[in-house]
Amino acid sequence: MNRPPSGEPLKSCCGAAYSSDAVALLLGESYHPGGTALTRRLADILALAPGTRVLDVASGRGTTALLLAHAYGVEADGVDYAAANTARARDAARAAGLAGRARFITGDAERLPYGDATFGAVVCECALCTFPDKGRAAAEFARVLRPGGRLGISDVTAETDRIPPELRGPAARIACVADARPLEAYAEILAAVGLRTLVTERHDDAMLRMIDRIQARLDLLRVTVPARLAEAGVDLASAPAVLDAARAAVADGVLGYALLVAERTAG
């Protein structure tokens, strides 16, 4: 039986943020550290084969699902909380000629709208850290996976008791920082629902590169289209301090980025 909705205001806020022009302006096509190169690394470890049915949770505008459908020949499904993202992803699939192999719907990661044991693989990039009920989301990952199926996650990691004040609060949570966990804590959440971790990799350098890219885009946009940034709700006054704090936190080992692959046990 499904639980009553939890964390709905926060999920709605995150969904709205990641379908907004502000995020597109600052992040470009790929919304997570490592971009499509790290997505390919994740797909290679998952050993995705043509025809495998793969679910992309928090699929955004469809970048990952479309890459997997095109480059790996999988049958890709994407689910995202924001209806605006679902519409954009469907448009992108049609434009790429992949509408038959990349399908997108609107839904909640904590109550996935799919049957049990539907997928051979599930991917979730830079999103588990934002989910209010991580254990519930992990249980849903396990439920929709076939026995022996694999889950691939890439996500922000954090030493929660050392996160600086600039990186706390609702905005930092939307930015995948405030409720991130240590890598071993993610593995424990997955183990509790029958997902056995097979591979972990640190990619902290990808986090630094993304911070630098955001800084460069922000500096350019501040000069070229400041009015558009303001309309999109970007706080130009506080952004430099937040980016500096994030960069320092990565250097100090407080923040990082990691890849994790787990397998659903037969039970």
Q: Residue ranges of the domains in the chain?
A: 8-264
Non-local (6+) Cβ contacts of 170 within 8 A are 10, 13, 178
Alpha helices in the chain, H assignment, sequence order: 8-18, 21-27, 35-46, 63-72, 83-95, 134-144, 170-174, 183-191, 204-224, 226-231, 239-251
Arithmetic mean of pLDDT, 55-79: 97
Q: What was the pLDDT predicted at 202?
A: 97
As a whole number, the mean pLDDT across the chain is 86
For residue 158 the two structure tokens come to: 């954090």
The torsion defined by the Cα of 194, 200, 203 and 204, in degrees rounded to 10, comes to 80
Arithmetic mean of pLDDT, 11-29: 55
Instruction: Name the pTM for this structure.
Output: 0.85
Who has greater pLDDT, 16 or 179? 179
Decide if pLDDT at 215 tops 50: yes
Decide if pLDDT at 13 tops 60: no
The pLDDT tens digits of the residues spanning 88-117 come to: 999 999 999 999 999 999 999 999 999 999
Alpha-carbon distances, residue 71 vs 64, 66, 112, 221 (angstroms): 10, 8, 25, 32
Q: What was the pLDDT predicted at 218?
A: 81
In angstroms and rounded to an integer, the radius of gyration of the C-alpha atoms of the chain is: 18
Non-local (6+) Cβ contacts of 20 within 8 A are 232, 233
The pLDDT tens digits of the residues spanning 169-208 come to: 555 554 566 688 999 999 999 999 999 999 999 999 999 9
d(CA 259, CA 43): 11
Q: What was the pLDDT predicted at 246?
A: 87
For residue 231 the two structure tokens come to: 């309309």
CATH code that applies to domain 8-264: 3.40.50.150
